[in-house]
Amino acid sequence: MNAFTQEINSCLEVLEKGGLIVYPTDTVWGIGCDATNKEAVEKVYRLKQRPDSKALICLVGNDAMLERIVEKIPETAWDIMDLANKPTTIVYDKPKGVAPNLIAEDNTLAIRVASDKFCRYLINAFKKPIVSTSANIAGEPTPSNFSKITLPILKGVDYVVNLQRDTGDAVSSSIIKLSNDGTVKVIRE
């Protein structure tokens, strides 16, 4: 079994038990868990020392999974995903099938279709969306690479992926809010 497959299997084992992982994404290193497991999502908020009123991002592995967890995807979303020149997270109205504590107070959820090979394989093998939030304590700088993740985060999760650790500095995704009424708002460029 190659290292890539071993890492996927190790992550799957942890995710299926409601545990937390630190893993490489198409943007910065993230803390991840089963996005449908309320207790797992709660562990992420506790680890980040962040109030659960500040919603987390959710990653899906493909368009079909996105369609399963959002009531209605505005046409504009497909255009944005096709035209984006960097990873772009879209905030959708009326998410469904995810942990209730993952959904923001205004009944929205930030979701990105992962473009990173490791993320896509992991999410598609897990068959459920995965939480992705930067691997840092709330209020601390977002770590731009693996070496900048602090010990409390690394010790606070059940598994740390041992791939892609020596990549250069990464940047966070763009975030765009698309309301079902047609409103488009750029939250983070």
Number of domains in the chain: 1
In angstroms, the CA 35 to CA 29 distance is 17
Range with the poorest average pLDDT among 30-34, 70-74, 143-147: 143-147
The per-residue pLDDT for 181 is 85
Q: What is the pTM of this model?
A: 0.93
| CATH number of the domain where residue 34 is located | 3.90.870.10
Position 52 pLDDT exceeds 80:
no
Position 183 pLDDT exceeds 90:
no
Q: Which residue has the higher pLDDT, 185 or 169?
A: 185
With cut-offs at 50, 70 and 90, classify the pLDDT of residue 122. Answer: very high
Picking from 172, 177, 147, 141, the residue whose alpha carbon sits closest to that of residue 160 is 147
Position 151 pLDDT exceeds 80:
yes
- Percent of the chain at pLDDT exceeding 70: 99
Range of the domain at 43: 3-188
